[in-house]
Amino acid sequence: MTEAKSYKDTVNLPQTQFSMRANAVKREPELQKYWQDQQIYQRLSQTNPGDSFILHDGPPYANGALHIGHALNKILKDIINKYKLLQGYKVRYVPGWDCHGLPIELKVLQAMDAEERQALTPIKLRRKARKFALKTVDQQRQGFQRYGVWGDWDHPYLTLTPEYEAAQIGVFGQMVLKGYIYRGMKPVHWSPSSQTALAEAELEYPEGHTSRSLYAAFPLTKATDSVEAKLKPYLVDLGVAIWTTTPWTIPGNLAVAVNPELTYAIVEVSEKSASQEAEKSSKPSKTKAKGFAPTQDEDSLESESADFDTEAEGFKYLIVAAELVERLSQTLDKDLTVKTTLKGQELDQCTYRHPLFDRESPIVIGGDYITTESGTGLVHTAPGHGQEDYIVGQRYNLPIISPVDGNGDFTTEAGPFAGLNVLRNANPAVIDALKEAGSFLKEENYIHKYPYDWRTKEPTIFRATEQWFASVDGFREEVMKAIQSVNWIPSQGENRITAMVSERSDWCISRQRSWGVPIPVFYDEETNEPLLTEETIAHVQGIIAEKGSDAWWELPVTELLPESYRNNGRTYRKGTDTMDVWFDSGSSWAGVVQEREELSYPVDMYLEGSDQHRGWFQSSILTSVATNGCAPYKSVLTHGFVLDEQGRKMSKSVGNVVDPATIIEGGKNHKQEPPYGADMLRLWVSSVDYSVDVPIGQGILKQLSDIYRKIRNTARFLLGNLHDFDPAKNAVAYEQLPELDRYMLHRITEVFGEVTEAFDSYQFFRFFQTVQNFCVVDLSNFYLDMAKDRLYISHPDSVRRRSCQTVLAIALENLARSIAPVLCHTAEDIWQYLPYPTPYKSVFESGWVQLDETWKKPELVEKWTRLRAIRTEVNKVLEQARAEKMIGSSLEAKVLLHVPDTQLRQQLRKLNPSGIPRLWLQTPKPELMVMGEEPEAALASETLSLDTGEQEWNVNQILSTVLTTLRQVFSENQRVWLTVGVVVGVPITLKVTATVLASIARLPLLADMLQLVGVGYSGWFVNRYLLRAPNRQELAEKARSLKTEVLGEGSPQPEPETAEPEAAPPAPVQPQPRILGERFTVLSNGVDELRYLFLASQVEVLDSPDAIENADYRSQSEQVWVGIVKAEGEKCDRCWNYSPFVGKIIEHPTICERCRAALAGQW
C-alpha cells in the first residue's frame, strides 16, 4: 500500500504578525512616537483639503493629577477631532490650562508651614503659584498625550502667559468703555474658609445640609391709613411673624417682605386644649438630622423639632399668610383663630420695631420668591445678606448692613454679638436674645441644599462687600438671542443656560486673592474714587503684555500710570483685587482664538461638562456678547459626570475612585486591575451615553475588554487571510463577484453609513454598537464563518478565493478607518500590518470610509435576510446534535430542509445544485480517473445555466469526451461488477444530453420524461450489452466505430487561445467551464450554496417534511422545517467535508473532488 499523502502544506492558512493581544502598555507609546516622528497631525491639519474645524479647549485647572472626568472630556474632544481629520478638515486643536485662582493658591499654601505663610508676600506667593502651575501643566500634558489625544502640545495656551493676560485686560477694558463694569456694595457669596468672594460657578449645593430655622415675631408699631381700621383692634398685641434658616442674619434685618397677591390673616394665639396636648405627647420624637458640627448649645437640641414655650407674651395676635394658618398652628403648637384678613399689598409701608436693635423698619413688597410652601408667608429681609433682599432694599432705598468680616465673624457693628462666628456660635446667641426679647416663636432643624465652597467644601455666607461687577442687565437680551443662535448638544442644554442667564444677578468679577490677573484700577488716596479710563487700561495692558501680570505687584504706581496721571496733583494707589478665574477662562476666545492666525472666531465647538452651563459656557458668551455682540461658539456639546458602577459619586473616603492611569498601566495587582491601555479607556468613552452621568468600574472594563478582543481578533483574521493579496493586482471586479460577496458589500455600505451618521450626530454609542455588531454578527458569525472554506481550501489564485479576499480587504480598510477616531492605536496598528502596499503612511492619511454607491443592492437584502434567518434555525438544530454527540462538527451533517413557501423553496433549490445532473467530461490524464458514481456534493465554481444559454457547449466535444472515457473503461475494467457500475449511466446520459443539447430551444426538460426514458433505456441496455462478455466486447467495438463515424479521430477541439497583455499582472485563475479538476463541471459558483451557508457537507431541499420527521434532530416552525442526519460519504483529509467521492480518486484517494480540483488549479 502507498503511504497516505499529507495535504497540510496545500491549505491556505492565515499568516500575519499582527498580535492577538494588544500589548497596549508597550505598543501604544510606539505608535504615538510614530505619529510624532511622521508629524501626522501637523501635516494633516495643514494639508487636508477641507475647511478648518476648530474645537476650542476649555482649560482644566492646573492644580493636581488627572482624574476620570478629565479622561472623558479630553477623549470626547479627540474623537471628534480625529473624525474631522479623517473627513478631510483642517483640524486645529490648541489645548489649554487655567493657571490662576484659588485652587492653585490653596495648593501652594497647603505646602507651607505656618511660619512661611506668615512671612509670605503677594509676589512670593505668585512666583510659587506659577511654578506649581507650570509643573502641573507638564504632568497633565503627558497624561493627555498618553490617552492618544492629538493637538498642538508644543504651543498650548496658558492663562498665565503675558499675551493671554493682556488680551484679558483688553476684554475688561472694552466692557468698561461700554459701561458694563461698575463698583458697588452688594451681597455676594463669601467663603470664610477661603476669605474671598465666589462666583456662582464656584459653589456646590450638597444635599443634607442642616440649618437652624427660626420662627420669630417683630412687634408692629404703625399701620398705614388704608389698613389702620382693620389693624387697630389688634395693634397693641400684634406681631409680624417671620421665618428664616439663617438666624445670624437677624442683626442685619431692615425690612419684612410680603407678596402683594397673597391673602394675610390676623390670627389670635391661644393654648391648645388638653385633648390636643395628650395627642401630641403620644407621638414619637423625631431624629436629629446631620448638619454643622454642633456647639454646646446646639447639642441641647434633643430632636429635629425642639419645642419651647412661646415667650412672646405681648403677641396675642400674629400676621401670617392665610393659607398657612392650619400648618402654623401645628408647627407652633398653638390654636390660631383668624380674626380678619387683608391683601399683602395693604401691608406695604406699615412699620415694626427690630426686637434686638433700636430701629423701626418697614413692611415692603417683595416678589414671587415669597410663597406659601414654607415659613409664614412673610420674609425677613436683610439687604446685606441676600440677593433678593438687596434688590428689594434698592427699590426702597434701604441701607446695607453687613456686620460680618472676611472670617465670618461679627464686627462691632453687631453690638453684643461682636466676635461670634456666624457659622459656628452666632445662631444660638441670636436665638437666646430673641427669647429674652419676647420675640421667639419656634426653633427646629431644617434640612435643605446650601451653598458650599467647591474647593474647601465648607459652607459659604452672603456678605455685602465693595466689589467689581459686570452689569449683566446691560446686555442680557443680547445674550439670550445669542444663545438661540447656537446648536446645543443635547438640545436641553439651551433651556438650561437660558434659565440661568435670565435669572442671574450681576456678575461679581473681583476676588480678594493675589494669584490672578489684576483688575487694573487705581484709587485716589484722598477721595477713594476709582480711576479706570481707556488710557489707564491701555497703558497697563501694554505693560502686562511685555512683562506679565507680576508687574502690577512689582512696579510702583508711577510706572503703572500713564504719563498724564503721574504729575496731576493727585496721589493714587493700586487696587489689590484680582479677576474671577471665570473671567480668565471666559476671555479665551480673545486670548487664544483671535490671537492665533490658524484659528477662527467664532469657533465651531465648545465641549465640556454640564456644570459649565453656569461656568465656562456662560462666562464666555457673556464676555463675547458684551464686547462683540455674538456668541464665541457655533455649537456646544455637554457631557455628564462619571460615577462608579453603582451610580455613586466617586470619593476617596468611599474608596470608589477610578484612576485613568491605573486603567491604562494597570494597578499593583494586575489580576485585579489589568493594564488595559488607552484604547480601552477610549472605547469606554464611546460606549456610554455621555449626555447623562456615566458609570465606570472593573466590571464594566472587563465587559469592554471582551468586546475589544472580538474587534481585534476580527481584524487579525482579515489581515491573516490577505497575506498573499494585493488589491491592485488580485481584486475581482464587482460584476464577477458571487452574490454572497455582493450582499456583503451592500451590508458594508449600510454599516459604515450608520457609523458615519453616528459620528455626524455625535452619538458615539451608536458607533460602538454598530461596529461591535458588524464584527461579531455580520463578519465573525456569518461571512467569515462561511469564507474559511473558500480562503483555506481553494486554489490560492482562484476567483472563488480572490473574490472573497476582495471583500475582506474592503471590510478591513474601512473597519480600520471607522474605528480610528476611537481606537486610534488599534486602527494604526492594523494599518501598519496591511500585507500590501498603500500610498498612506498612516490610517489617518487614508481618509474616511470609502464606499461605492454601486455596492448598494437593496434587492438582495430581503433574500439574504431570510437565508440568514434559516441559517439561525439550522444552527440551533446542529448545535443540539453536536451537544448530544451525534456529530462532532457541522461538516459531519447533512441538512434536510423544507419550507412551505414555494417561492422560497425554489430560491433554496437554486442555491443547492447537488441534485442537478452533471456533465462528465474527458480527462486529459488517465491516471486522474474517478472510480465510481457522480458525487452529490457541489463540484465547481462557475455556473452553467442550461435554460439561459449562458455557456455554449460543443456537442461533438461532449460526445468525444464521453466515448473516449467509455473506451478507456472497457479497456481497463474487465470485471462485470465494475463495468456495470461505471457504464450503466453513461449511455443514458449520452442519449439524454445529446437530445437536450440539440433541441434545447424547443424541448422542455421534464423530470418525469427523463426518468421514464432512463428507466426504460437502462433495462434494455443491461440486457443487451452487459450480461455476457461477448456482448460487452461488441459494445466496445460499436463505441469506437461511432466515434470515428460521427466525430473523426482525435481529441476534443481545443479552446481558442487568448493573448494576454505583457505588462498585466497575473489574473486570478478562472474556473474552466468544461473541465472541473480536469474532470467535472457543475451548476454552481462554489460560493452561493446552502451547504456553505450552513457549514454542512450536504443539504437536501425537500418538497415534503416527511423525511424530516424521521430525523433524530429536527425543528419545526411556520417558516422552515429542519432535520439533521449523518452526511453521506467519507471525510476528506484536506477540507474535512464529507463526500461520496472520497476514496474514488485514484491519485488522491483520501480527498474529495473539490480539493482535487483546487490542487489542479481549477477551483
What's the CATH number where 703 sits? Answer: 1.10.730.20
- Residue 354 counted as domain residue: yes
pLDDT of residue 1012: 56
- As a whole number, mean pLDDT of residues 778-806 equals 96
- Residue 130 counted as domain residue: yes
Q: Residues comprising the binding site?
A: 608, 652, 1132, 1135, 1152, 1155
pLDDT in tens, 105-149: 888 988 888 888 888 899 999 999 999 999 999 999 999 999 999
Work out whether strand 90-91 and strand 52-53 pair parallel, antiparallel, or are unpaired.
parallel
* One domain for residues 349 and 246: yes
Does residue 239 contact residue 219 with C-beta atoms inside 8 Å? yes
Closest residue by Cα to residue 202 from 563, 26, 452: 452
CA end-to-end span of the chain: 29
Measured N-to-C along each axis, helices 616-628 and 162-177 cross at an angle, to the nearest 10 degrees, of 60
* One domain for residues 427 and 526: no
* One domain for residues 897 and 929: yes
* pLDDT surpassing 50 at residue 283: no
**653: DSSP letter:** T
DSSP E strands in 541-602: the ranges are: 572-574, 578-579
- Residue 865 counted as domain residue: no
**What are the beta bridge partners of residue 338?**
267
Query: C-alpha 476: how far from its chain's center?
Result: 34
pLDDT band at residue 368 under the 50/70/90 scheme: confident
- Burial code (b: 16+ CB inside 10 Å, e: under 16) for 362-383 equals bbbbbeeebebeebbbbbbbbb
* One domain for residues 713 and 758: yes
Query: Considering 426, 450, 474, which residue would you say is the last residue of a domain?
Result: 450
pLDDT of residue 305: 33
Q: Report which secondary-structure segment, H or E, holds 335.
A: strand 334-343
**What are the beta bridge partners of residue 61?**
98
What is the extent of the structural domain holding 535? 520-576
- Residue 1152 counted as domain residue: no
Query: Considering 604, 627, 642, which residue would you say is the last residue of a domain?
Result: 642
- As a whole number, mean pLDDT of residues 298-304 equals 31
* One domain for residues 510 and 524: no
pLDDT of residue 1083: 52
Does residue 1120 contact residue 916 with C-beta atoms inside 8 Å? no
Rounded CA-CA distance 31/11 in Å is: 34
Most distant CA pair in the chain, distance:
148
Whole-number Cα distances in Å, 382 to 252, 394, 403: 5, 11, 11
* pLDDT surpassing 80 at residue 173: yes
* One domain for residues 961 and 1008: yes
Is the dihedral angle over the CA atoms 16, 19, 24, 30 positive or is it negative? negative
Q: Residues comprising the binding site for ATP?
A: 652
Closest residue by Cα to residue 72 from 514, 608, 595: 608
Q: Report which secondary-structure segment, H or E, holds 767.
A: helix 764-773
pLDDT band at residue 1035 under the 50/70/90 scheme: low
Work out whether strand 317-321 and strand 238-244 pair parallel, antiparallel, or are unpaired.
parallel
Does residue 627 contact residue 179 with C-beta atoms inside 8 Å? no
pLDDT of residue 367: 82
- Burial code (b: 16+ CB inside 10 Å, e: under 16) for 106-134 equals bbbbeeeeeeeeeeeebeebbebbbebbe
Q: Residues comprising the binding site for Zn(2+)?
A: 1132, 1135, 1152, 1155
Query: Considering 406, 428, 450, which residue would you say is the last residue of a domain?
Result: 450
Rounded CA-CA distance 944/697 in Å is: 59
Does residue 918 contact residue 1080 with C-beta atoms inside 8 Å? yes
Selection from 463-477, 741-755, 997-1011, 1062-1076 with the highest mean pLDDT: 741-755
pLDDT band at residue 691 under the 50/70/90 scheme: very high
* One domain for residues 704 and 781: yes
* One domain for residues 774 and 722: yes
- Residue 655 counted as domain residue: no
* One domain for residues 187 and 224: no
Does residue 791 contact residue 721 with C-beta atoms inside 8 Å? yes
DSSP E strands in 504-662: the ranges are: 507-508, 510-511, 522-524, 530-531, 572-574, 578-579, 603-609, 633-639, 642-643
* pLDDT surpassing 90 at residue 653: no
pTM of the model: 0.77
- As a whole number, mean pLDDT of residues 1034-1058 equals 46
DSSP E strands in 899-1010: the ranges are: 919-920
229: helix, coil or strand? Answer: helix
pLDDT in tens, 831-867: 999 999 999 999 999 999 999 999 999 999 999 999 9
* One domain for residues 971 and 1120: yes
- As a whole number, mean pLDDT of residues 469-488 equals 96
Rounded CA-CA distance 807/748 in Å is: 9
> Taking the C-alpha atoms of 867, 870, 871 and 876 in order, what is their torsion angle to the nearest 10 degrees?
170
- Residue 429 counted as domain residue: yes
Q: What phi and psi, each to the nearest 5 degrees, are found at residue 352?
A: -140, 165
pLDDT of residue 1027: 58
- What CATH number has the domain bearing residue 544? 1.10.10.830
Closest residue by Cα to residue 937 from 738, 654, 1153, 643: 1153
Q: Is the peptide bond before 835 cis (omega within 30 degrees of 0)?
A: no
* pLDDT surpassing 50 at residue 1059: no
Rounded CA-CA distance 402/424 in Å is: 17
25: helix, coil or strand? Answer: helix
* pLDDT surpassing 50 at residue 448: yes
* pLDDT surpassing 60 at residue 592: yes
Q: C-alpha cell of 485?
A: 443662535
* pLDDT surpassing 70 at residue 945: no
pLDDT in tens, 376-415: 999 999 999 998 899 899 899 999 999 999 999 999 999 9
- As a whole number, mean pLDDT of residues 754-770 equals 97
Helices first, then strands: H and E counts in the chain: 39, 39
Rounded CA-CA distance 419/416 in Å is: 9
Span of 128-137, 309-318, 1025-1034 with lowest mean pLDDT: 1025-1034
**846: DSSP letter:** S
Of 277 and 477, the structure prediction assigns the larger pLDDT to: 477
Q: Report which secondary-structure segment, H or E, holds 117.
A: helix 114-118
pLDDT band at residue 1041 under the 50/70/90 scheme: low
Rounded CA-CA distance 1149/928 in Å is: 10
Of 1063 and 16, the structure prediction assigns the larger pLDDT to: 16
pLDDT in tens, 1114-1124: 999 889 999 99
Closest residue by Cα to residue 43 from 840, 849, 850, 823: 840
pLDDT band at residue 985 under the 50/70/90 scheme: low
* One domain for residues 586 and 733: no
Beta carbons within 10 angstroms of residue 607's beta carbon:
24
pLDDT of residue 355: 95
Angle at 412 between CA 410 and CA 415, to 5 degrees: 90
Rounded CA-CA distance 65/61 in Å is: 10
Of 762 and 271, the structure prediction assigns the larger pLDDT to: 762
- As a whole number, mean pLDDT of residues 765-774 equals 97
- Residue 154 counted as domain residue: yes
Rounded CA-CA distance 509/160 in Å is: 18
Work out whether strand 196-198 and strand 360-365 pair parallel, antiparallel, or are unpaired.
unpaired
Query: C-alpha 1004: how far from its chain's center?
Result: 61
pLDDT in tens, 1125-1150: 999 999 999 999 999 999 999 889 99
**What are the beta bridge partners of residue 351?**
222, 362
pLDDT of residue 842: 98
- What CATH number has the domain bearing residue 74? 3.40.50.620
Does residue 798 contact residue 941 with C-beta atoms inside 8 Å? yes
Of 1032 and 949, the structure prediction assigns the larger pLDDT to: 1032
pLDDT band at residue 1047 under the 50/70/90 scheme: very low
* One domain for residues 238 and 266: yes
Work out whether strand 603-609 and strand 633-639 pair parallel, antiparallel, or are unpaired.
parallel
Cβ neighbours of residue 555 under 8 Å, at least 6 residues apart? Answer: 543
- As a whole number, mean pLDDT of residues 356-370 equals 92
pLDDT in tens, 12-35: 999 999 999 999 999 999 999 999
Rounded CA-CA distance 1046/960 in Å is: 9
Rounded to a whole number of angstroms, the CA Rg of the chain reads: 45
Q: What domain count does the chain have?
A: 5
Mean pLDDT of the chain: 85
- Residue 107 counted as domain residue: yes
Angle at 715 between CA 710 and CA 720, to 5 degrees: 125
Residue percentage of the chain with pLDDT more than 90: 72
pLDDT band at residue 200 under the 50/70/90 scheme: confident
Q: Residues comprising the binding site for L-isoleucyl-5'-AMP?
A: 608
